[in-house]
Structure formats: structure tokens, C-alpha cells
Amino acid sequence: MSNDIVITGLGATTPLGGDVPSTWDAMLAGRSGVATLDAGWVTDFDLPTRIAAQLAVQPTDILPRVEARRLDRCEQVAVVASREAWQDAGLADGAVDPERLAVVIGTGIGGAHTLLAQDDLLEGPGLRKVSPLTVPMLMPNGPAAHVGIELKARAGVHAPVSACASGAEAIAWAYRMLKSGEADVVVAGGAESAIAGITMAGFCQARTMSTRNDEPTRASRPFDVHRDGFVLGEGAGIMVLEREDHAKARGAKIYGRLAGVGTSSDGYHITAPDPEGSGQARAITTALRTGGVDPADVGHVNCHATSTMVGDVTETIAIRKAIGEHPVLTAPKGAFGHTLGAAGAIEAIITVLSIRDSVVPATLNLENLDPGVAQDVVAGEPRKIDLKAAVNDSFGFGGHNVALAFVSA
């Protein structure tokens, strides 16, 4: 019986759309989800960055009012995306033995909105106004826990926290659970909603964010020589992954295969990547090796590229080391900003759809390619290309590196 790992369900809510089809259509159409923030705290704190990529569809417009009030926004987006993925996979009640079902959903920060709001209540009206649900709403494992409880998953509920690599690491964790035989089905991905004063201020002080406030839709520009930092986004991306024998036994549609995964760490710096790209290259090489994928067959890399001066070029160095110069690259963050712990999962979904539809979306706002980038980066219009295999990169503060190798169904 085959123990290949296949993708049978996809779910997402992003700055481009409230589900996977609308997000994918917007990506191919070259639309941007970045806009000016109208929150009062932006001017109150005199932030140098006044733009962000907020959700296209509010989760409170989808979830029942009582349920939404008991969830942090980070948990809300996880629930919304997970329900779409579960339905897309065609998994009706009883289709999976609960003891063979697991959930792995990562986040970089967790319930930031709850933490800030409840602290304001404690310091203002006082203890009696603090919600008894404060801790379940702010804990980083909250998104995974809520989805796990809803699905009655009993093979394990996990919440990797590895900064901006969290969503991709969750998918890698799911792969390993399925390969080891711990589960037959895993619902995996990432969720994040941290567009708030303190996170914006922290990133601004670190000088990592774009200040192109007068041109919001042109601010996030990976690989462009005039890039000046990333744009903060929010959202969630969820996949349903299964052992192939389980998926075929129930007649499931299959989007593609997660052939291999690779993780590594730089051991270099808390925020900066190793300029040689060695750790990133090791993660990519491991993903290809575990998946039995020849680097020559990798036609595309969906890049982590956040639109920072150092990170974008370093990633291309790593890709050249691990794969070569032949794959065409793209960077979705030009369209929907940097969704932190959700980024790797959302971009993994885009990678799978690129293979399915034989098309690579363009990198938004790429007008003048950085001379340090030696590869072919898709810009302007999506490119039709027959893909056997593609790699999705994700990296995070702390030197976390994750690579996912996908192949066609």
C-alpha cells in the first residue's frame, strides 16, 4: 500500500480573498491586498508605516456571532480556513477514525489582539472586566486546539511556533506524522492576525517595514531593486493531507503530492539570515532528498522573499546552491504582504495550484530586478509552464528554515 502523502483539501482566507478560489484568481489577475490603515492607533503612535494587507473578508461575517466572540482573530481565521479545507476534501462525519486524525496549525505570534485588549481592560476598568477566556484566546496553540476539538481529532494536536516559518513547519510536521503511521489524515497549516500597534511599532523600529505609504499597492516589491521592506499582512492557509492509500480508498480528489520536506536552522542571528544561504540551502536539499526529487525536475520555486534588502538576495543564493539557476521564481508577498506564521501555508497552497494549473503567478511590483538575483523571476504576467515539481521556501526570525517539495498528482 502506498504511503505517499497527498493533498486532498485546501482552505484559506487572505488579503486577496475569503477562500482559496478567490485568492488564486486575484493572484493570477495581479491584484494587491495592501491598503492604507484607518485605525486610530496608526496616527496616535505616529507610526512611519501606515499601510498593511488586511483580510478581504472579515471572519466575523462568516462565523456565528457568539462563536466569533469566544475566539481571537487568529483563531477565527484558522477555523474559517479549516472548515473550507475540510469541506473541500469531502470528509463527511465518520469518514476518518478520530484516533487516526491529527491537526497541526502553527502561528508566529498567536492571540495578539486578545492580549492587548484584555491588558487594557485590566489596567482600566479592572479585573472584573477581564474575560475568563483570555488565556485560551491568546495562547499560540489556540488555533490548532479549536480546530482539533471541532474535528474531534485524537491522533494529536500540535502548534509549531517558528516565527514566519510556522505554517510551513506545520505542514512538514504533518508529513512526518503521516509517514510514521501516527495518522491517516492531518489538517495542517498556519494562521496569523497581528496587525496591531505594538507589532507594527516593533517592526518599524527594526526598520524592516516599507514606508511607501503614498503608494500602498506598490509597497511590497520582492526582488525589486527599489524595495524598502515588507508589508504586514494577516490570514490563514490550511491543507488536508492524507496517506495516499487512505485517500484513494474513499475516492478523494487529489491536488498533488507532498513529496518531501526539509528543515534546518542557521545558528547565525536572531533576525538576519546567514548571508551565504547555507542553512536555507540545506533545508531545500533535504526536502528534495526525502522526496526523491531530482533538482533538475524542479521547474519552479515559490519564494519566501519578503521584500527586504538582505533576505531576498540571500534566498536566491540558497536556491542556486540547492537546485541551480533553472527554476523560475515567484514571490506572492508582493500581492498580500507578509502574513508571518500563516505565510508558508498560504504560499504552499499557491505552489500546489501552480503545479495543478501549470501556471506561475507574477511577482507584483517587480519592475527592476535586483542585479544580485541571477534567476528568472516571473513578473508582469503569469507564466504558463508545465511543472513536474516545485519547492516552497519559508524562513523565520531565529534562523528557522523550512522547504516543502511538491510534485504533480
The whole-angstrom separation of Cα 124 and Cα 107 is 29
Catalytic residue among 74, 113, 158, 164: 164
- Which three cell numbers mark 61? 461575517
The whole-angstrom separation of Cα 97 and Cα 182 is 12
Contacts of 366 (CB under 8 A, 6+ apart): 221, 222, 223, 224, 331, 334, 377, 379, 380
- Angle value at C-alpha 224, between 221 and 229, nearest 5 degrees: 50
Q: Which amino acid is at 337?
A: G
Catalytic residue among 113, 246, 338, 400: 338
Catalytic residue among 146, 158, 300, 304: 304
Q: Catalytic: 74?
A: no
- Which three cell numbers mark 112? 495578539
- How does 112-128 read in b/e, with b if 16+ C-beta sit within 10 Å? bbbbbbbeeeeeeeeee
Taking alpha carbons only, the member of 256, 172, 218, 300 closest to residue 34 is 218
Q: Whose grid coordinates read 492587548?
A: 116
Q: Catalytic: 400?
A: no
Q: Catalytic: 304?
A: yes
Taking alpha carbons only, the member of 263, 239, 273, 186 closest to residue 347 is 239
Q: Which amino acid is at 209?
A: M
Residues catalogued as catalytic: 164, 304, 338
